[in-house]
């Protein structure tokens, strides 16, 4: 067993034996966010729309940039939150991967990465797999308030930055790394989104 895999095994064993009072990420209804579960990521102030989704920006011919929808009625695209740890629910501030459930066919995958140095970007941008200049690290979910969170990206040297929103020259609200104004979000299970939609009809 490699040193890295052994370390992950020890950490998994440690977390799986922690008391149930450990701080966990919760969805908008107070239910623990499941490891590998699918959720909509929505702005905390407008949890009925403006969700995150992939979009083609700049010279892209495929939707590879993670953006905030411009519609107040659009929940965006479902994402999957996955930890390498063998745990049922996601602890706050634990390393995880984020990916869209159903990426476009032209995309290599739905996995989120952070890309530095793309010409049209003034800040490191959240992109789907396929770009060069990808920063090495993992995403984290960190608490902001009651069932409200921010996303952060931590490089392998533990240098962390928050995820914020930056409007580009074409009006796209791109998710980027920032040292100020983090994007405050909530998590919504698709089931409850369907229930709310059916009730409104």
This prediction has a pTM of 0.84
Residue 14's pLDDT is 46
- List Cβ neighbours of 117 (8 Å cut-off, separation of 6 or more): 133
Summarize the confidence of residues 145-156 as an average pLDDT: 96
Which DSSP category does 33 fall into? P
Residue 57's CB: how many other CB atoms inside 10 A?
21
Q: How confident is the model at residue 157 (pLDDT cuts 50, 70, 90)?
A: confident
* Residue 161 CA: distances (Å) to CA of 51, 139, 154: 21, 10, 7
Determine phi and psi for 131, rounding to 5 degrees: -90, 155
CATH 3.65.10.10 fits 3-200, yes or no: no
Per-residue HEC secondary structure of 108-164 comes to CCCEEEEECCCCCCCCCEEEECCCCCECCEEEEEEEEECCEEEEEEEECCCCEEEEE
Listed range (5-14, 70-79, 103-112) with the worst mean pLDDT: 5-14
Domain spans of the chain?
A: 3-200
Question: What pLDDT is attached to residue 25?
Answer: 97
Q: Which range, of 35-39, 121-125, 166-170, averages the lowest pLDDT?
A: 121-125
Say which residue, 189 or 2, is predicted with more confidence.
189
Residue 13 pLDDT greater than 60, yes or no: no
């Amino acid at each position: 067993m490699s040193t890295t895999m052994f370390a992950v095994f020890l950490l998994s064993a440690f977390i799986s034996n922690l008391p149930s009072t450990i701080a966990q990420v919760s969805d908008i209804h107070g239910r623990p966010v499941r490891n590998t579960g699918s959720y909509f990521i929505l702005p905390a102030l407008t949890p009925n729309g403006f969700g995150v989704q992939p979009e083609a920006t700049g010279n892209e011919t495929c939707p590879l940039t993670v953006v905030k929808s411009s519609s107040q009625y659009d929940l965006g695209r479902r994402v999957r939150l996955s930890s390498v740890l063998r745990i049922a629910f996601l602890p706050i501030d634990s390393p995880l991967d984020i990916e869209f459930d159903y990426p476009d066919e032209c995309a290599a995958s739905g996995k989120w990465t952070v890309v530095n140095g793309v010409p049209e970007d003034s800040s490191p941008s959240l992109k789907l797999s396929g770009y060069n200049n990808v920063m090495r690290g993992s995403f984290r979910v960190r608490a902001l308030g009651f069932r409200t969170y921010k996303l952060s990206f931590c490089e392998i040297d533990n240098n962390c930055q928050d995820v914020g929103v930056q409007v580009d020259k074409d009006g796209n609200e791109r998710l980027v790394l920032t040292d100020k104004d983090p994007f405050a979000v909530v998590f919504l299970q698709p089931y409850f989104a369907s229930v709310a939609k059916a009730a409104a009809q």
